[in-house]
Amino acid sequence: GNLSELFALNGKNAVVTGGAQGIGEAIVLALRDAGARVFICDINPEVGNATAERHGVEFVAADVTDSASVETAFEHVATTAGSLDVAVNNAGIVHNHPSEGLADEDWRRVMSVNLDGVFYCCRAAGRRMLQQGSGSIVNTGSMSGHISNHPQPQSAYNTAKAGVIHLTKSLAGEWADRGVRVNSVSPGYVGTEMTKRGMSNEEWRRVWVGDTPMKRVAEPREIAPAVVFLASDAGSYCTGTDLVVDGGYTVW
Q: Interacting stretch for ligand NAD, rule CB under 6 A, among 18-26, 29-37, 101-109, 168-176?
A: 18-26
Q: Give the strands of the sheet with 242-245, arranged side by side.
A: 58-61, 37-42, 13-17, 86-89, 135-140, 180-187, 242-245
Task: Please report how close the Cβ of residue 148 comes to ligand NAD at its closest, in angstroms.
Answer: 13
With binding defined as CB under 6 A, does residue 149 bind ligand NAD? no
Instruction: Name 97's bridge partners.
Output: none
Q: What is the full DSSP assignment across 91-115?
A: --------GGG--HHHHHHHHIIII
Q: What is residue 116's DSSP assignment?
A: I
Catalytic: which of 120, 157, 189, 249?
Answer: 157
With binding defined as CB under 6 A, does residue 22 bind ligand NAD? yes
Q: Calculate the alpha carbon distances from 164 to 191, 211, 233 in Å.
A: 21, 24, 23
Q: Interacting stretch for ligand NAD, rule CB under 6 A, among 8-16, 21-29, 126-134, 172-180?
A: 21-29
Q: Is 249 considered catalytic here?
A: no
Between 17 and 136, CB nearer to ligand NAD: 17
With binding defined as CB under 6 A, does residue 247 bind ligand NAD? no
- Site size toward ligand NAD (CB under 6 A) is 29
Please report, as ranges, the residues that interact with ligand NAD according to CB under 6 A: 17-18, 20-24, 42-44, 62-65, 90-93, 113, 117, 140, 142, 187, 189-190, 192-195
